[in-house]
Every structure is written in structure tokens, then in C-alpha cells.
Amino acid sequence: MHEALSIGIDTSCYTTSAACTDGKSIVFSKGTMLSVAFGDRGLRQSEGLFQHVKQLSPLLCELLSAIEKANVRCVCVSASPTAKPNSYMPVFLAGLKQAETLAAALDVPLIRADHQSGHIRAALYGNETLLDRERFFAVHISGGTTDLLLVEPHRDAPYRIETVGCSTDLHAGQFVDRVGVALGLPFPAGKHLEALAAKAEQKNVKPASAVQGTNCSFSGAESAAQRLLHTVPDAELAYGVYDCLARTLAKMFTEAVNRYGDLPFLVCGGVASSGLLRSMLRKRFRGTLYFGRPELSSDNAVGIALIGADRSALWKR
């Protein structure tokens, strides 16, 4: 029997997620993708919020039927995209309001976290040795972020996070999705574009990577890729997208080491679930790289549940 359970809830732009952990093992984890019409490249926030409201209640009912409710010690929820002041997206209200009601019904504390910290904590599952360090880099690459972060594990909050680099326009996931949809692939396009890239016979398509210091840009690379549509084989174009991502990130990592020292990198976020990108990064960057489990790299509530377990454990000390 699992004791001292923490429930996590996350309602991101494209996945409704619920999870439960005892701090050491994952007791329950399930997510439901939001529905995006074929050919579209995303959803309005109002539509995303509506779908979360419909999908979250059944998920929570399934979670509660799988655990001993008397052992729940807290409910943790992603209430914002990041920990930055005024960080806000309407979709997170769906999870927040359900979490408030659930915590009150179970008579346990409600812990507010943020989506980005949840990604970092999920990637730390199995990589907890990083928590013993004074600081490390985290790289959050998804459809909504391309953030290079300096992370200090901290007692009074999930982490102390400083953004030291980012994309100045498109994010890594947007680059992947825009090229993927243009190639006729479903949205989100990551796993489909990666499968297509695996079929590439030649690997000569190399959209230019744009890096200035620890910041990057993907709009030029995306425009270049769009111009190559129907002029090069689809598989080679798909491979070129991932090659551009790897070259860009490796340059950012190298500059970060030059500025802040030889710290390890924890790579997280939905784009980081790509085995192809992981392999390319290991070849292009000689520093220390940590990756979370692929199934915990895409949006999920496991990291949020773990943050709740971390915080509730502190209260017992």
C-alpha cells in the first residue's frame, strides 16, 4: 500500500493530465490529448480550456478510484506556464479550479506550481543526483518554450530558476510542427516528423542555425525549410529540421558553459522526447547531458505530483 500520496494536475496547451506519486514511485499517470483539426497548427485558448473542462473530471475519477484517498497528503497543480511573475495562460484555470475543489474535498493542502517546473521535476525522476548539486542547467524545449535555464535546487520552492537563454521568435516545437503540418502530418507533428526523418537516405539538407550568445532564432530556419518543400525528399527535409535543432542547441550549450562553467544539462520538454534529437545532441555536444524518460518528456502531471511530494515531505521535518 502506498502512503503519503501526492496528486498532480496539469492542463497545458495540448494535454489534460493527472498523476499520483508517493514521492518514490509513480502510482498513477494518465493524459488525454486535446483535439486539433487536421491541418491546423494549434488551438485557441478558449477551445483548449473548454476541452480541459470536459476531459479532466473523468481523469480524476479514474485516479481517485485507483488510490486510497485517505493517504492523500496534498494536491499540486500547475497554475501558470512558468514561475516568472505574471506568467499566465487561461488553459491552466481548468486544472487550478478542479484542484482547489479536490483539495477542499479531501481536506489537504493545495500547492501551486508551474508547468515548466513540472517538466524539470519529471525529467529529474531517475536523475535525482542532480538535486545534490548547487546548480545545473535545464533546457526546456517544447511548442511554447525554448528556454535555457540555470537551476538551483532550493528548500522553500521547487527550484530557483534564472533564464539565461531563449528563442527570440519561434520555439523548437513550433519549428517542428510548422514544417510537419506543411508536409501533411498531423499536429502535434513531432513523432510523425521523427519517423519520417528516419527514412532519409541522404542527410545534406541543413537549414542554417541562428545563435547569438545563448539566444537563438528558428524563424529563418523555418522559412528556409518551407522553401524546400517539394524540392527535396520529405524525409531529408524532416531530418534537416532535427539536424538544425541539434546544431542550434549545441551552440547554445557551449556558450552557456563558457559563461557559467562546466555544469550538467538536463534536457526536458516535449521535443526532448525525440530519440533522434537525443542522439544528435550527444554527438554534437561533449558536455554532460541528462535526459528524462521519453514518456515523461511530453506534457504530463508526474512532475507536478512529485513537486507536491517534495513540498509535503518538507512540512514533516
- What residue spans define the domains of the chain? 5-122+297-315, 172-291
The more confident residue out of 155 and 295 is 295
The arithmetic mean of pLDDT across residues 32-57, rounded, is 93
Instruction: Label the pairing between strands 136-141 and 265-268.
Output: parallel
β-sheet with 159-166: strand ranges across: 159-166, 146-153, 136-141, 265-268, 289-291
Task: Please list, residue by residue across 234-271, b when 16 or more beta carbons sit within 10 angstroms of its beta carbon and e when fewer do.
Answer: bbbbbbbbbbbbbbbbbbbbbbbbeeeeebbbbbbbbb
Task: Give tens-digit pLDDT for 82-100.
Answer: 999 999 999 999 999 999 9
155 pLDDT above the threshold of 80: no
Q: Which of the four pLDDT bands, split at 50, 70 and 90, describes residue 2?
A: confident
Looking at residue 288, its pLDDT comes to 97
Reported as half-sphere exposure (CB side, CA atoms, 13 A), residue 121 has a value of: 31
317 pLDDT above the threshold of 70: no
190 pLDDT above the threshold of 50: yes
* pTM for this prediction: 0.95
Asked if residue 209 lies in contact with residue 172, where contact means CB atoms within 8 angstroms, the answer is no
β-sheet with 110-113: strand ranges across: 26-33, 15-21, 5-11, 72-78, 110-113
Rounded Cα gap, residues 251 and 309, in angstroms: 36
The arithmetic mean of pLDDT across residues 21-47, rounded, is 93
Domain 172-291 in CATH 3.30.420.40? The answer is yes
Burial class of residue 125, CB neighbours in 10 A (0-12, 13-18, 19+)? middle
Mean pLDDT of the chain: 95
H or E element, residue 251:
helix 234-260
Looking at residue 1, its pLDDT comes to 65
Domain 5-122+297-315 in CATH 3.30.420.40? The answer is yes
Asked if residue 202 lies in contact with residue 236, where contact means CB atoms within 8 angstroms, the answer is yes
- Closest to 311 measured CA to CA, from 17, 10, 25, 76: 76
- Closest to 8 measured CA to CA, from 58, 55, 18: 18
Task: Give tens-digit pLDDT for 242-280.
Answer: 999 999 999 999 999 999 999 999 999 999 999 999 999
Do 5-122+297-315 and 172-291 come out as alike in CATH topology? yes
> What single string gives the DSSP state of each residue in 280-293?
HHHHH--S-EEE--
**Residue 151: what are its φ and ψ, rounded to 5°?**
-115, 130
Q: Which of the four pLDDT bands, split at 50, 70 and 90, describes residue 153?
A: confident
305 pLDDT above the threshold of 70: yes
Looking at residue 72, its pLDDT comes to 97
Burial class of residue 233, CB neighbours in 10 A (0-12, 13-18, 19+)? middle
Task: Give tens-digit pLDDT for 164-175.
Answer: 999 999 999 999
Q: Which of the four pLDDT bands, split at 50, 70 and 90, describes residue 158?
A: low
